[in-house]
Amino acid sequence: MVIEKKLLDLFQEQIRNEFESAYKYLGMAAYFESTPYKGFAKWMRKQASEEMEHAMKFFDYVNDRGNHVELFPLISMPTHYTSPLEVFRETLEHEQQVTHLIHEMYRVALEIQDFAAQVLLQWYIIEQVEEEKQAQDILSQIETTGDSIAALMKIDSKVGKRKD
């Protein structure tokens, strides 16, 4: 059963949003690559691949429901930042915005009684809890370092061990 236009439009936009998230995190990885913080760079690369997986999950779903995928242009992303603190503040803020978008899609899926889409979106709702938690955890650790580069490097090394 095809997805109703009202929800389909949001799904199409979300494919772009997820790719833009990947692009945003790649920009952050590029920034970290130009600093000693190679662990944060690695974390951002992993985060970018995860966002591409999120995009492809929507891509496949739109196809599976018999709709035709549209791909919209991506905007350019910054690769210059001033500190890890700035980057992770922005990461958390970004994930909170994504959560809001996912909730809005879920609200529409409820409104039009698209039960199958609700199940798909429940996966993203749970995923967003994890995404926000990860960003918040790293941000909180960075906030405790004050001016200590040594403490920051320690967090960088720990964060760089991210597996998935």
For ligand OFO, the binding residues (CB under 6 A) are: 18, 21, 51, 54, 95, 98, 124, 131
- Measured from the CB of residue 148, what is the shortest distance to ligand OFO in angstroms? 29
Tokens of 131: 């995404």
Nearest residue by C-beta to ligand OFO? 54
Residue 80 burial by Cβ neighbours in a 10 Å radius (0-12, 13-18, 19+): exposed
The string of DSSP codes covering 45-84 is: HHHHHHHHHHHHHHHHHHHHTTPPP--PPPPP-----S-H
User: Of 101 and 153, which has the nearer Cβ to ligand OFO?
Assistant: 101
Q: Residue 127 Cβ, how far from ligand OFO at the closest point, in Å?
A: 6
| Look-up of token digits 């990947």 | 22
Q: Which is nearer to ligand OFO, 125 or 151 (CB)?
A: 125
Looking at beta carbons only, is 62 or 152 nearer to ligand OFO?
62
Whole-number minimum distance, CB 92 to ligand OFO, in Å?
A: 11
- How far apart CA 58 and CA 40 sit, in angstroms, is 27
